[in-house]
């Protein structure tokens, strides 16, 4: 039986058991670290941090699935299990999912145009898969899902904006999260290996030729760099008003801050959407 809760995730009362696949989720352990920039009118810029640890063993058997623990320090946030190409989460302390509630957080069987989740954090509506690419990470092909709210899912990891990104119900209060991740896997031959998100992000940028912005956060100015020789950009404030626009020549351009106030801004560079934080 399946019913829908308010945030658009599914409660799963019956599942089909299977062994955890390292292509879908870490099958040994993982460390998820989350950071997001903040600008306080009184205290200036600062950064908030959060982190979770996943332990596949010892596991809990429930509904014919093996559930590992997700911890925040010594506190158990909940249990995580793999069911086919879905990642299921069973809440323990009520921090992100009501205690005792079982939800589907990720589904790596989605196709382009499918709804990934209901985004109450940023888009205030359904989040749709806009494209699916493939990255080769440590000799293993993993699908990269680009969502239309700028979120990205990497198969075997989840959101690169934070493990709980699909269930955020309110903004974190100070900007958008920056996700770092390291995990230990064991392949089908029993060989252990480790993967961190900076490897994956560098592979993604190289494969898709994503424009680069630096420094970010910026104080007085920043540079936009392209792999192509020419391009254009538009810069928007948080309300969607255009505050800068320009042409990029010889692969880069310099953007002065001038009279722009501190805060989060959005850049559209050759069709790529990205964020820049002015301190």
Phi and psi for 21 in degrees, rounded to 5?
A: -105, 130
Q: What is the pLDDT of residues 120-133, one digit of tens each?
A: 777 678 999 988 88
Fold that domain 212-278 belongs to in CATH: Immunoglobulin-like (2.60.40)
Tokens of 248: 């990029």
On whether the CB atoms of residues 117 and 125 are closer than 8 A, the answer is no
Phi and psi for 167 in degrees, rounded to 5?
A: -115, 10
Which pLDDT value is given to residue 17? 37
Q: What is the pLDDT of residues 6-51, one digit of tens each?
A: 333 333 333 333 446 788 899 999 998 877 766 666 666 777 777 8
Stretch(es) of the chain classified as CATH 2.60.40.10: 212-278
In the chain, the N- to C-terminal Cα span, in Å, equals 50
Q: Residue range 141-163: average pLDDT?
A: 86
Q: Distance (Å, rounded) from C-alpha 98 to C-alpha 36?
A: 24
């Amino acid at each position: 039986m399946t019913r829908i809760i308010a945030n658009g995730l599914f409660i799963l009362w019956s599942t089909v058991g299977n062994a955890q696949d390292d292509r879908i989720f870490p099958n040994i352990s993982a460390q998820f670290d989350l950071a997001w920039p903040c600008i306080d009118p009184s205290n200036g810029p600062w950064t908030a941090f959060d982190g979770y640890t996943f332990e596949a063993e010892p596991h809990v058997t429930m509904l014919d699935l093996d559930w590992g623990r997700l911890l925040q320090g010594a506190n158990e946030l909940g249990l995580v299990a793999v069911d086919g190409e879905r990642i299921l989460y069973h809440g323990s302390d009520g921090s992100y999912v009501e205690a005792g509630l079982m939800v589907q957080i990720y589904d790596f069987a989605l196709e382009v145009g499918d709804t990934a989740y209901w985004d109450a954090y940023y888009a205030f509506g359904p989040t749709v898969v806009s494209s699916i690419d493939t990255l080769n990470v440590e000799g293993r092909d993993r699908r990269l899902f680009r969502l239309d709210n700028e979120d990205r899912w990497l198969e075997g990891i989840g959101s690169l904006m934070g493990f709980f990104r699909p269930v955020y119900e309110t903004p974190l209060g100070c900007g958008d999260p920056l996700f770092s991740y390291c995990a230990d896997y064991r392949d089908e031959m029993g060989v252990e290996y480790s993967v961190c998100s900076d490897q994956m992000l560098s592979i993604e940028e190289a494969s898709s030729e994503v424009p680069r912005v630096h420094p970010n956060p910026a104080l007085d100015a920043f540079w936009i760099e392209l792999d192509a020789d020419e391009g254009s950009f538009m810069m928007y404030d948080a309300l969607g008003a255009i505050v800068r626009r320009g042409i990029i020549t010889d692969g880069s351009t310099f953007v002065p801050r001038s009279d722009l106030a501190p805060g989060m801004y959005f850049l559209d560079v050759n069709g790529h959407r990205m964020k820049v934080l002015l301190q």
